[in-house]
A and B are shown apart, each in its own frame.
Chain A
Amino acid sequence: MSAASLLAEPSPKQSSYWDDVARRLLRDKVSIACMLLLALIVLGALLAPWIAPGDPSMGSVLKRLKPVGTPGHILGTDELGRDMLTRLLYGGRTSLLMGMAPVGMALLIGGTLGMVAGFRGGLVNALIMRTVDVLFAFPSVLLAVAIAGALGAGVGNTLLALTIVLIPPLVRVTESATTQVRSLDFIEAARASGAGDGTIMRAHVLSNVIGPVLVYATSLLSVSIIMAAGLSFIGLGAKPPTAEWGLMLNSLRNAIYSQPLLAALPGVLIFAVSLGFNLLADGLRTAMDVK
């Protein structure tokens, strides 16, 4: 043991890469604002049954299309007389579910497929990636419409359709990241320690690949919610009388002449959520950029 090895070092930092990322993220004002906004919306949607002022399915023809600011209905009422604020809160539950769940599932399925494809290479890779190529030959909206259109309306069908549409891009991103990591020395060192493929993927590849994949998944959240609400807008997706933002946009279309503000409200929320996720994804990417 040589004395030189105990040369004076600055106090031990002991911060993992993720601690650094979190720290940088929390210093970015835009990201914090986004996280707060999104948290607010999500929380509102989750707590809808408890905090909503009214009943989402109870409407009165007498109270149709009351404007924003009406006493008792702070955001007005829709075309069937139902309280808008309530409908928006409840709608959030459906919209957010339809938008976010497919990303989660696609991340699990696509991420695993991509990692296996990237790690194994060869025939397995070719098989998985060529299948993904075929799905990529369809523009995403068209594919979603095709699958949902064939299956029929309904939240479940939409979830399935969107998951299928989102799997290919996630496979590609994960495969690309995994291929880059696979050739690094520490993977070879892990193999030299006697670990099998599965252990290496879990213990070494995952932690190095999850960064860019997570950023991409976050930006996919914004696309997904637009598509989910969009599908409901054209009659696939959620069925009336379920409250859902895209569906509400559709049913309020005729009110555009009399109550334009009312008609535009559901879209504001879709926009807000989508924007929030996009900005968050950008913030995450920047936070992860420095080594």
Chain B
Amino acid sequence: MFTYLIKRLLFAIPIALAVTALCFSLVYLAPGDPLSAVLPSDASQDVVDLVKAQYGLDKPVPVQYLLWLQRAVTGDLGKSISSGRPVAEEIGKAIGNSLLLAGLASTLAFTVGSALGIAAGYRNGSGADRAMSAIAIAGVSIPHYWLGIVLVAIFSARLNWLPAMGAGPAGSGNWTLDHVQYIILPTLTLAAMPAGIVMRSVRALVADTLSRDFVTGLIAKGMGRGAIFRHLAKNIAPTALAVFGVQLGYLMAGSILVETVFTWPGTGLLLNTAILQRDIPLLQGTIFVLAMFFVGLNLLVDMLQPFFDPRIKRT
């Protein structure tokens, strides 16, 4: 098991580095020279020279990358062009909101999806199974930003039950019961697609496991349904964990569309701002943080696998 963990860690490092390189190269993808991407167009010459020296823009690209990486790892992600504040500070404020939303949505998606998936798997082939699968496919096919708009149209515009946007007057920070209403619609919207995905994966897993011979053996032994369920859970646990982790990662990093719909003050909205304002440092910094989060989360899920999957060798 130890070798497994070490191997995983070692593999993650070059990938993480490659990811940082990709983030860094975004600046060069943008049309125009990198300097104009980092500075407002009306900056004076001294500022231009200062930034040039600081960013080492006169040095060869690999050196620039290393300089940037060094700064990024210590928390200096540059300054946002649109707001003037340090990028790291902006991200810090927003990331909590996104984590909250993503966490809630993935938990909801996982619970509902798993419950439906297990129910459908047990009733493999029946009418109930087909109905639930139909719901799952609808969930997977729905454009989440559209779902958000529809939910807002129904619950905000028509029924006026829930607010249409924002996170409430306090933003991140003091969360009171009053604020809960702001998070309901975004969570539901965000959870729809992953719920569908989880449901389909779990259903397939359950149906497959139940049809295996060892389950017939267990039933022949006289095991009750509860005991069989526990066996089942142990079998699907490693995959379920992986699915949950992946979903959390995707929701966290891919929440831009839903956050835009609800003007939810998270990293997704930051990205949106960055794009609209052509604020490259903000764009680069946010993508960097989100990508690192995704890589880290995947690594964590990978490293937790041995505790769930006995097939991975334990020494």
Q: How far is the CB of A38 from chain B (nearest CB, A)?
A: 12
Residue of B31, B146, B274 contacting most chain A CB atoms (<10 Å): B146
Q: Interface SS of chain A: helix, strand, loop or mixed?
A: helix
Residue of B15, B29, B249, B298 contacting most chain A CB atoms (<10 Å): B29
Q: How far is the CB of B70 from chain A (nearest CB, A)?
A: 21
Q: How far is the CB of B303 from chain A (nearest CB, A)?
A: 16
The residue on A at minimum CB distance from B29 is A150
* A267 to B144 Cα, complex, angstroms: 10
Residues of B3-61 contacting chain A, CB below 8 A: 15-16, 18-19, 22-23, 26-27, 29-31
Whether A150 pairs with B30 at a CB distance below 8 angstroms is yes
A267 touches which of B16, B150, B164 (Cβ 8 Å): B150
B275 touches which of A138, A235, A266 (Cβ 8 Å): A235
Q: A146-B287, A149-B274, A152-B31 are in contact. Are A134 and B22 (CB under 8 A)?
A: yes
Whether A282 pairs with B137 at a CB distance below 8 angstroms is yes
Q: How far is the CB of A254 from chain B (nearest CB, A)?
A: 11
* A138 to B252 Cα, complex, angstroms: 12
Chain A contacts for B137, CB-based, 8 A? 275, 278-279, 282
Q: A147-B29, A260-B157 are in contact. Are A142 and B254 (CB under 8 A)?
A: yes
The reply to whether the CB of A124 lies closer than 8 angstroms to some CB of chain B is no
The residue on B at minimum CB distance from A277 is B141
* A236 to B257 Cα, complex, angstroms: 12
* A256 to B31 Cα, complex, angstroms: 36
Chain B contacts for A134, CB-based, 8 A? 15, 18-19, 22
Whether A133 pairs with B29 at a CB distance below 8 angstroms is no
Chain B contacts for A138, CB-based, 8 A? 19, 22, 253, 291, 294
Whether B157 pairs with A275 at a CB distance below 8 angstroms is no
* A264 to B261 Cα, complex, angstroms: 13
The reply to whether the CB of B305 lies closer than 8 angstroms to some CB of chain A is no
Q: How far is the CB of B77 from chain A (nearest CB, A)?
A: 15
Whether B143 pairs with A271 at a CB distance below 8 angstroms is yes
The reply to whether the CB of B271 lies closer than 8 angstroms to some CB of chain A is yes
Q: A234-B275, A256-B153, A275-B141 are in contact. Are A141 and B146 (CB under 8 A)?
A: no
Q: A139-B254, A152-B31 are in contact. Are A230 and B143 (CB under 8 A)?
A: yes
Residues of A206-232 contacting chain B, CB below 8 A: 222, 226, 229-230
* A246 to B276 Cα, complex, angstroms: 16
A264 touches which of B141, B149, B287 (Cβ 8 Å): B149
Residue total for B at the interface (Cβ-Cβ under 8 A)? 50
Whether A249 pairs with B149 at a CB distance below 8 angstroms is yes
Whether B153 pairs with A260 at a CB distance below 8 angstroms is yes
* A64 to B130 Cα, complex, angstroms: 43
* A236 to B137 Cα, complex, angstroms: 27
The reply to whether the CB of A233 lies closer than 8 angstroms to some CB of chain B is yes
Chain A contacts for B149, CB-based, 8 A? 249, 253, 256, 263-264, 267
The reply to whether the CB of A274 lies closer than 8 angstroms to some CB of chain B is yes
The reply to whether the CB of B65 lies closer than 8 angstroms to some CB of chain A is no
Contact bitstring A256-271, B, C-beta under 8 A = 1, else 0:
1100100110110011
Chain B contacts for A39, CB-based, 8 A? none
Residue of A133, A271, A277 contacting most chain B CB atoms (<10 Å): A271
The reply to whether the CB of B114 lies closer than 8 angstroms to some CB of chain A is no
Chain A contacts for B150, CB-based, 8 A? 264, 267
Chain A contacts for B144, CB-based, 8 A? 226
Whether B142 pairs with A152 at a CB distance below 8 angstroms is no
The reply to whether the CB of B272 lies closer than 8 angstroms to some CB of chain A is yes
User: Which B residues lie at the A interface, using CB under 8 A?
Assistant: 15-16, 18-19, 22-23, 26-27, 29-31, 137-138, 140-146, 149-150, 152-154, 157-158, 164, 249-250, 253-254, 256-257, 260-261, 271-272, 274-276, 278, 280, 283, 287, 290-291, 294-295, 298
| Further contacts, 11 of them, CB under 8 A, given A137-B15, A149-B283 | A134-B19, A138-B19, A138-B291, A139-B254, A151-B30, A152-B278, A226-B143, A234-B257, A264-B149, A264-B153, A275-B138
Listed from nearest, the 7 A-B pairs whose CB atoms lie closest are A267-B146, A141-B254, A260-B153, A150-B29, A275-B141, A134-B18, A139-B253
